[in-house]
Amino acid sequence: MKEIVLITGGGGMIARTLSKKIEKEYTVRFLTRKKKHENDFEWDLKKGTMDESALENVSHIIHLAGANISEKRWTDERKKELISSRVDSAELLLKTLRKKNIKLKSFISASGINYYGTVTTDKIYTEQDPPGNDFLSEVVVVWEKAADEFKEQNLAERVVKVRTAVVLSKEDGALKKMLPTIQYGIGSPLGSGKQYMPWIHIEDICSIYASALKNTHMDGAYNAVSPQHTTNENLTKKMAEVLKKPLFMPNVPSFVLKLIFGELADALLEGSRASAQKITDTGFQFQFPDLKKALENLLIHHQTK
């Protein structure tokens, strides 16, 4: 009998790619707002309800649910939504597991590399470093605290928190947003362009989740970030190089981004490096540690698809 893995945030790009990676070894179920497939189970966070049959005989939960950080301006309402979509969803799972008296082998939660704060420094952050003191790090701190409850309340043997960098994928996320301007030859770095941009290829982030399922020694927080560091300017240049497009526009000034995005602009204009040492120490091997090769894989395939 295959072990059952329940994935929340079933509509997201990581969930879709990850399920294909693990479906031969595990029975995969999804918790989603609207049932579209046989292995979908509905939940409603506003009402605090879920189809409890999703948890029958479940061994692992991979918690990917959470509103998109960079989708909208951070109004007070949006800030509440960013936190509640992560924390309330975890609390609903916790409450339902306790009610049904189910103990998981693992609770594996998405988390953010913004744990360390949105600052540009020469420091390379490790999992030993304390959290930052801005809004994004506050989101990640409460997100991880909600995950830790599963172990503290003895509802999971171990909890793995995957501190995710910018995920490079042709389907969604940062790459998809940057692509049109570069394809039209009007791409340019943001602000100074010197801010670091921790990144990871979609295949590698999904492989980290797959490793977290199988490797029972994995416990606690892990930076899910490529070992090769890059800046926003370097990423923009490499994308243009791979697509054979010119890059002659001036950098987008910081004040323009602040006018458009408000406080969210800080997440685009600041950024530091994070270490991949802890995850590689588990024996994990990156398929795409090199930025240029990662972009070639995503963008050249994207054009010829």
Contact assessment for residue 198 and residue 113, using Cβ atoms and an 8 Å cutoff: yes
Task: Report pLDDT digits (tens) over 93-116.
Answer: 999 999 999 999 999 999 999 999
Q: How far apart are CA 95 and CA 91, in angstroms?
A: 6
> How much of the chain exceeds pLDDT 90, in percent?
61
- Whether residue 302 is predicted with pLDDT greater than 50 in this model: the reply is no
Q: What is the pLDDT of residue 265?
A: 66
Average pLDDT, integer, range 251-273 = 72
Q: Is residue 156 part of a domain?
A: yes
Q: How far apart are CA 245 and CA 266, in angstroms?
A: 28
pLDDT band at residue 174 under the 50/70/90 scheme:
confident
Q: Is residue 296 part of a domain?
A: yes
Task: Report pLDDT digits (tens) over 19-65.
Answer: 999 999 999 999 998 888 889 999 998 899 999 999 999 999 999 99
Q: Is residue 248 part of a domain?
A: no
Task: Report pLDDT digits (tens) over 223-232.
Answer: 999 999 999 8
Average pLDDT, integer, range 200-228 = 97
Q: What is the pLDDT of residue 257?
A: 65
Q: What is the pLDDT of residue 304?
A: 42
Q: Is residue 241 part of a domain?
A: no
Average pLDDT, integer, range 127-149 = 94
Q: Is residue 244 part of a domain?
A: no
- 288 CB-contact burial (10 Å; exposed 0-12 / middle 13-18 / buried 19+): buried
Which domain, by its residues, includes 222?
3-233+261-304
Q: Is residue 274 part of a domain?
A: yes
pLDDT band at residue 171 under the 50/70/90 scheme:
confident
Q: Is residue 240 part of a domain?
A: no
Q: What is the pLDDT of residue 254?
A: 72
Which of 28-37, 76-85, 205-214, 241-250 shows the lowest mean pLDDT across its residues?
241-250
Q: How far apart are CA 170 and CA 73, in angstroms?
A: 24
Q: How far apart are CA 239 and CA 237, in angstroms?
A: 5
- Total domains in the chain come to 1
Q: What is the CATH number of the domain that holds 124?
A: 3.40.50.720
